Amino acid sequence: MKSRNLRLLKTYMLGLLTRLEQLLTAIAMMKELTPRSRDYLVSFGECMSTRIFTAYLNKIGIKARQYDAFDMGIITTDDFTNADILEATYPAVAKRLYEDWIKEPAIPIVTGFLGKGWKLGAITTLGRGGSDLTATTIGKALGLREIQVWKDVDGVLTCDPNIHPAAKPVPHLTFEEAAELAYFGAQVLHPQSMKPASESDIPVRVKNSYNPQAPGTIITKERDLSKAVLTSIVLKSNITMLDIVSTRMLGQHGFLAKVFSIFNDLRISVDSVATSEVSVSVTLDPKKLPCDDLIREESELDHLVEELEKIAVVNLLQKRSIISLIGNVERSSLILEKAFSVLRNNGVNVQMISQGASKVNISLVVDDSKAKQCVQALHSAFFENEESHFPSR
């Protein structure tokens, strides 16, 4: 039986490699790689690696069964390279896995970050964090007690260890905190990947593949924040800031609506916003501008400024960073008092401050050249000096 399974695996892998060669030849001849072709191209690695891993588990006596996500029931929109999972996925995945388990129990080994577009029936990918999204989708479909995602760090950390080696694991987070951390630059999780678990109130535990004994970080819908001050510090570098001031009189009706309609028309999203009656400051990530390549980033920014200057005076400030303080914003006055004291002592000028509607995030904009120094100083003040911690209420 084992030799027969290995022969079947070899035959299938050779078939996959043949199809891959044909696809690459077609791309080379056409000198064009469409989003649809790209999604099909990147699916080969998952399809091959999951089959090899499944064969290995079966060889050592652990019963396993391989699944291609796009054939297992993960149904998505047809937005190639960044598809969304549709509700029809959950009953379809549950039905397939439960039926197979009843027939013959085996550990499911599923391809990550892949799905099938519901209209075209083509292979799609789920964008950044797609493998974690696959895991939380399956967890929601099956109604599991806990979902685990395995990384190369001991959970979510108090800051990026590449910026400050004293970063330490955060034992407990809410989904809201995790989403803010991810959106503003933390690389461990992607906010979209947590959505199925959050909707189903299933805890997610982040573990370290290289240190399985570490408890990791548990993410739940709620946690006790009564003694919490700061959870983590996140840095998002190389962002652009725009100061937009109305050219009309005070109280101009509809100014903000006009500003944001321009962003909407150009399909540009902003990270942080600070507003008054006749002015608004926003930050945006140039890498997320809707352009075909990096060369066009500058022209896209120029176009944005040109449109905004029809209704306002615009000041474009590049090479800025957002430092996001994630924590208990009910104690925002204490957090800001300490943060501004630290930044003042380090000679850093804060150019914009924004508190998100989530109420777990305070964002500060500073020059790129000072940003890492700021994170190191803030981390030392909030997490390393015991005498500096605020007393609990």
Structural domain includes residue 297: yes
Query: Please, are residues 203 and 218 in contact by the beta-carbon 8 Å criterion?
Result: yes
Q: How far is CA 144 from CA 89, 147, 304, in A?
A: 16, 7, 46
Mean pLDDT within 275-282? 84
243 with 378, same domain?
yes
Q: What pLDDT score was predicted for residue 55?
A: 92
Question: Quick one: 28 and 65 in the same domain?
Answer: yes
* pLDDT digit string, tens, across residues 7-40: 788 888 899 999 999 999 999 999 999 999 999 9
Q: What are the pLDDT digits (tens) for 82-99?
A: 999 999 999 999 999 999
Q: Using one digit for the tens of pLDDT, what is the confidence trace for 100-146?
A: 999 999 999 999 999 999 999 999 999 878 899 999 999 999 999 99
Per-residue pLDDT at 367? 95
Report pLDDT for 392. 39
Provide the residue range defining the domain that includes 159: 145-223
Query: Quick check: is 305 in a domain?
Result: yes
Contact 85, 137 (CB under 8 A): yes
For the chain, the average pLDDT equals 88
Whether 122 maps to a domain, the answer reads yes
Q: Does pLDDT of 290 surpass 80?
A: no
Residues 126 and 52 in one domain: yes
Contact 315, 221 (CB under 8 A): no
CATH of the domain at 1: 3.40.1160.10
pTM: 0.82
What is the sign of the dihedral through the CA atoms of 53, 63, 75 and 207?
negative
Q: Are residues 219 and 275 in the same domain?
A: no
CA atoms of 266 and 303, how far apart (whole Å): 9
Q: Do 258 and 283 share a structural domain?
A: yes
391, part of any domain: no
Q: What is the mean pLDDT of residues 55-84?
A: 95
The answer to whether residue 386 scores a pLDDT higher than 60 is no
Residue 296 confidence (pLDDT): 56
How far apart CA 241 and CA 332 sit, in angstroms, is 23
pLDDT of 387: 41
**Domain check: are 206 and 180 in the same one?**
yes
Are 281 and 261 part of one and the same domain? yes
Domain at 332, CATH number: 3.30.2130.10
Residues 373, 246, single domain; the answer is: yes
The last residue of one of the domains, among 181, 205, 223, is 223
Domain end point (choices 193, 223, 253): 223
Q: Could you tell me the two tokens for 180?
A: 């803010």
Domain-ending residue, one of 191, 223, 255: 223
Domain count of the chain?
Answer: 3
